[in-house]
DNA sequence: AATATAAGGTGTCGAAATTACACCACTAAA
DNA sequence: TTTAGTGGTGTAATTTCGACACCTTATATT
């Protein structure tokens, strides 16, 4: 039996591409839809913007409702406005992305009925997604690749304390290529925004590595100058 | 007497930030509005997207209707979605930019009633604009500044044949700083996408400079490779 | 205790790119 | 013919980038 769905004249929506890093692998956050159209399909967390909230606020709310995650720093990266992208009517969607550390403790749990579940999925080997979400994902992934070259976005994806090897394997996962260990370390340390800690890795069955922290204040200073250089 | 204006529930619009270069000065395209709200104010060319057109198509159509210009390659750069940005209701606007050569012959002439006139205005010393258009302009200007560092967008702004000094003064106008003449020439020529012509400038009261052309095919080849390097 | 395993950590050299910097050449107008 | 104004050019010092290999340290295994 076919169900007649309501149609939209003109609706704004938000879709979120949320990257995480776990076990040396880059992942994104997907939901299993619990609503027509595309019921039971996998999709990016996304929903409709309300009348009385800015799109930035909507992005935060929607991600929370569908996945239980909040207080990420999301940034919009592209707006998708093809006429036929949603079967029920005209929906223009603003796509946001964020990078976060996957934290085993934090449970992913939708707080609305619109999603059955939310989970992390490796970016390699993604299944077909609902709507044009595969395209949205690709656009977002290309953007963060390019951004990684001039902004230290990688630190959002790592635990607070991390080793240089972890940092390198994250870069390698995002850029999808091997990097030279000595050159990578030299370069990262030369930026001056890594703070070496008096601590070492624990619980590994080999020589433990030094832990580092990302020093936001130093980064802010350096970045200030770089903006001047660019101009 | 106060006129009661219609209100919108939910509307998409497009605003265009179009850069041109003339007489050593960077300019943008403004219109004089002929409609409430902000009647008689200066604004970016912008209007509402129809139901049955993609946002990219809408951008082309709207720019044409308000200024008479068409066939530019516009790109979206940001979407503005604050709740109160339009006094009549909820309007989310996708901002596009383009860079074009200002061509004295081409008349700027609105083909709708919504604009009284369209004209070029220097980017320094912009007046206050309608809605949040000043903010939209600033965001767009910062984007092209950054883009100038890794894409040869400057060539869109110059006449087909240009001198190296003209090219340099354009870079200086966009980046807002002086550049070294010898280093600038060395670098530009080293890219290999400038074609030296057998012609010289005419009608100047000093030594005439050689003219150059931008070689798109060579650029495409080079850029192909650069993409690989980045990744 | 000895050994194997696995990652941590380090330096140098050559090539390439970037910066700083100053003077003569040419053309037209006065 | 002189002057004003821009066109056009090279070199040396510095910095950055990329390639490349081996010893050290910690744990687990025998």
Domain boundaries, chain B: 8-148, 160-230
Q: Domain B8-148's class?
A: alpha beta
Instruction: Tell me which fold the domain B160-230 belongs to.
Output: Arc Repressor Mutant, subunit A (1.10.10)
| pLDDT higher than 70, residue A181 | yes
The pLDDT assigned to B228 comes to: 41
Question: What Å value separates CA A205 and C1' D30?
Answer: 17
B75 CB neighbours in chain A (<8 A) are none
In chain A, residues with a C-beta closer than 8 Å to the C-beta of B230 are: 145-146, 149
Chain A CB contacts of B52 under 8 Å are 83
pLDDT confidence of B152, banded at 50, 70, 90?
A: confident
- Predicted pLDDT at B112: 94
What average pLDDT does range A155-184 have in this prediction?
94
Higher pLDDT, B49 or A146: B49
pLDDT of residue B9: 79
pLDDT at A221: 78
Residues 148-187 of B with CB under 7 A from strand C: 180-183, 186-187
The mean pLDDT value of chain A amounts to 90
| d(C-alpha A131, C-alpha A139), whole Å | 14
Is pLDDT of A34 > 70? yes
- The phi and psi torsions of B108 (rounded to 5 degrees) equal -95, 120
Report the percentage of chain A scoring pLDDT > 90: 74
Query: Among the listed ranges A12-16, A65-69, B160-164, B218-222, which one has the minimum average pLDDT value?
Result: B218-222
Confidence class for position A85, pLDDT limits 50, 70, 90: very high
What is the pLDDT at residue B2? 55
So what's the pLDDT on residue A228? Answer: 41
Task: Answer yes or no: is pLDDT of B37 > 90.
Answer: yes
Coil, strand or helix at A202? coil
How much is the pLDDT for B221? 77
Rounded to an integer, the average pLDDT of A147-155 is 83
- Closest residue in A to B150 (Cα) is A230
Q: Is the pLDDT of residue A227 over 50?
A: no
Residue A219 has pLDDT above 80, yes or no: yes
Gap from B202 CA to D1 C1', Å: 25
Distance CA(B164)–CA(B211), nearest Å, equals 8
- Rounded Cα distance between B96 and B68, Å, is 17
Can you give the pLDDT at residue A230? 35
Residue range B164-180: average pLDDT? 94
Distance to chain A for B202, nearest Cα, Å: 33
Contact status, residue A12 vs residue A48, Cβ threshold 8 Å = yes
**Average pLDDT value for residue range B183-192:** 94
pLDDT for A202 beyond 50 = yes
Rounded mean pLDDT, A174-179: 92
The runs of H, that is alpha helices, within chain A are 55-67, 133-148, 164-175, 181-191, 216-230
- What pLDDT is recorded for position A231? 29
Average pLDDT for A139-168: 90
- The residue among B26, B25, B43 whose CA lies nearest residue B34 is B43
- Report the gap between the CA of A107 and the closest CA in chain B (Å): 30
Q: Do A94 and B82 lie within an 8 Å CB cutoff?
A: no
Question: Residue A198 pLDDT more than 90?
Answer: yes
- Average of per-residue pLDDT across B58-62: 97
């Amino acid at each position: 039996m076919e169900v007649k769905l309501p149609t939209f004249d003109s609706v704004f929506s938000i879709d979120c591409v949320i990257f995480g890093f776990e076990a040396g692998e880059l992942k994104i956050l997907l939901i299993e839809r619990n609503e027509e159209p595309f019921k039971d399909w996998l999709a990016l967390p996304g929903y409709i913007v309300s009348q009385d909230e800015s799109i930035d606020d909507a992005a935060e709310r929607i991600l929370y409702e569908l996945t239980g995650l909040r207080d990420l720093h999301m940034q919009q990266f592209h707006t998708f406005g093809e006429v036929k992208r949603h079967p029920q009517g005209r929906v223009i969607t603003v796509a946001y992305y964020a990078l976060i550390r996957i934290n085993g403790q934090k449970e992913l749990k939708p707080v609305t009925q619109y999603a059955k579940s939310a989970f992390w999925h490796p970016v390699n080997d993604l299944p077909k997604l609902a709507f044009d979400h595969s395209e949205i994902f690709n656009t977002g992934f290309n953007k963060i690749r390019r951004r990684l070259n001039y902004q230290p976005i990688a630190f959002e994806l790592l635990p607070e304390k991390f080793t240089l090897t972890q940092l390198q394997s994250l870069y390698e996962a995002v850029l999808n290529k091997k990097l030279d260990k000595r050159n990578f370390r030299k370069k990262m340390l030369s930026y001056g925004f890594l703070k070496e800690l008096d601590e070492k890795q624990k619980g590994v069955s080999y020589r433990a590595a030094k832990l580092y922290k990302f020093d936001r204040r130093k980064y802010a200073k350096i970045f200030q100058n770089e903006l001047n250089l660019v101009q």
